[in-house]
Chain A
Amino acid sequence: MTDKFEDILKKKLEDYSLEPFKKDWEIIERRMGLSAKKKKFEYFKFVAAAIIIGILLSGILFILRNNDITELIFYDQSIVGANEENSLLRSLMEIYADIDLPQKEKDRLNANGLFFDNTAINFYPADIEEIGNEDINDSIRRIVDNLPNGRNNPFIPQVRQSVKKSKYTNWSLGLFADGNIGGNGNTGNISGNYLLATRSAITAVNMANNSIPKVENFNYNHKMPLSAGLMVRRSLNEKWGVETGLTYTLLVSKASSGSNIDYTKKQSAHYIGVPVAVTYTIVRKKNLEFYSHAGIEMNFNVRTHIKHDFNHSLYVAPFTENYNANNVQWSAAANIGLMYNINPVLGIYFEPGYSHFFTNDKQPETYWQEHPDNFNMRIGFRTNF
């Protein structure tokens, strides 16, 4: 070929132009607006998440600080001598020194003569002093054990059981994992060349370019949903409480062609859920707690990823597509729960339950659409404040 050939080709093609449609500018305008809105929304989501996390952390810290003092100890000074009293009280003060009380609280205690002072006679008045935890009580017992023989009993600081809080705690935080009892879904058959996510025909672009094989039938299988999450529970009284939190669910589906073309699709749908539930404690005995709860959950499809994989010389290489439903998948659930308290702070729980997912045609085709009613088992840890 000659350079002249290239020159002519360049001249002819360089000048080649096509007139855009009027709707092109409308589409660009709309997409520009949407992308600006989307950015704004993403920023809003980030700020909202930061605020929620901030409130949660502040709440937890506030609760933890105010729970440094949980039990009540009395000391009857009338039955001890001055020296022994001072010795014991000095030891007790060493324990108190380990408690990181807020300054405001220290001031209050000082004002009431509750902090150790050699000159203070009314060291422990009728008022009460609250101190830390089981370790501190153990320390007090050890101090008392070291006192002269025969003098132990009168000196034992007494834990005032009558004002000790009941076994239920106001707040608890749970971390769980969840799976369906029934395991994976059934194997079924769908006709036509469909994306699992949209239930609509493959995009015109891909069809026009012969990017993908045209397959009439697919065998599909929805895998067992897997969830994990963080739940916060607020006890309203001995029996009733409310619960909310954040959950993440992964729904995987696979489809393979029934024809001789080796064509597979793998869909991964990611959901973030916000459950709201009411809890009712049926029995609480020693370290065991038997309860039930029921509520609703909003599930947001944050991303659905579909991977097309085929091996055929007439078509181009595999590709992936992303999709997300812009509406909410609602569900209702009822569970019973059994929690074993490993210690006063931490418990392990098992919650078998039933869920119903309401029909929603705009959601991706997943296990939830195939099995709107299903049984699941949740296992987790819960910490009490």
Chain B
Amino acid sequence: MLGVCYRYVNDLETAHDLMHDGFITVFTKIGDYRNEGSFEGWMRRVFVTTALGYLRKYKLYIESKNNDFSLPNMKDNDPSVLEKISEQELIRLIKSLPNGYRTILNLYTIEGYSHREIAEMLHISEGTSRFRYARAKALLNKRLVEHR
């Protein structure tokens, strides 16, 4: 669960704090678990919600206006680079993404939420969610190419 929290924030210290908050929520709200779906999935949602609460509180998923970086042609993408890179290196590259992009990349790709669900969770439009996801992938691809 520390890994889940760490994927959403910039530093390990904050990830530890969020993990504490998440476990306290799990222990105090365990009665809310209704045997619908796996317990691990429910716990995971608690931790993701805790991390999102933190990001929402400090509005960290709202990006600064300086995002006018150029993106490579997506057709040039080669998944083999992704296959070869270590988990540690991949995490480092994902962490280099802006908060808002990283959040949506995590929610859509890893947690499996739809863009509609993400839009509701982050109080943004569905279009914004799709746009940021596309930018996140493109930017990650750019970082992968640079890393190669």
B82 is an interface residue with CB less than 8 A from chain A: yes
Prevailing SS type, chain B contact patch: helix
A27 vs B21: C-alpha distance in the bound complex, in angstroms?
Answer: 10
A15, CB-defined interface residue at 8 Å: yes
Binary per-residue interface labels of chain A (284-315) against chain B in the complex, 1 for a CB within 8 Å, 0 otherwise? 00000000000000000000000000000111
When A24-B16, A208-B13 are in contact, do A17 and B3 touch as well, CB less than 8 Å? Answer: yes
Report the nearest B residue to A319, measured CB to CB. B58
Q: How large is the interface on A (under 10, 10 to 19, 20 to 34, 35 or more residues)?
A: 35 or more
Binds B, one of A28-36, A47-55, A219-227, A274-282: A28-36
Cβ proximity bits B71-94 to A, threshold 8 Å, 1 near / 0 not: 000100101001100010011001
Distance between B18 CB and nearest chain A CB, rounded to angstroms: 10
Q: Is A342 an interface residue (CB 8 A)?
A: no
| Given A10-B109, A211-B58, A316-B62: A28 and B82 interface contact (C-beta under 8 Å) | no
Q: Bound state CA distance, A315 and B23, in angstroms?
A: 30
C-alpha gap A211/B64 in the complex (Å) = 11
Q: How many residues of B contact A (CB 8 A)?
A: 44
Rounded to whole angstroms, the CA-CA distance of A21 and B13 in the bound complex is 11
Identify the interface centre among B10, B12, B58, B138: most chain A CB within 10 Å of its CB: B58
Q: Are the CB atoms of B137 and A316 closer together than 8 Å?
A: no
- Which of the candidate stretches A1-9, A242-250, A265-273, A322-330 sits at the interface with the other chain? A1-9
Name the one of A5, A20, A205, A313 contacting B19, with C-beta atoms under 8 angstroms.
Answer: A20
- Tell me whether A120 is interfacial, beta carbon within 8 Å: no
The reply to whether the CB of B29 lies closer than 8 angstroms to some CB of chain A is no
Cα(A285)–Cα(B11), bound, Å: 72
Q: A residues within 8 Å of B by Cβ?
A: 1-2, 4-6, 8-10, 12-21, 24, 27-28, 31-32, 35, 204-206, 208-209, 211, 313-317, 319
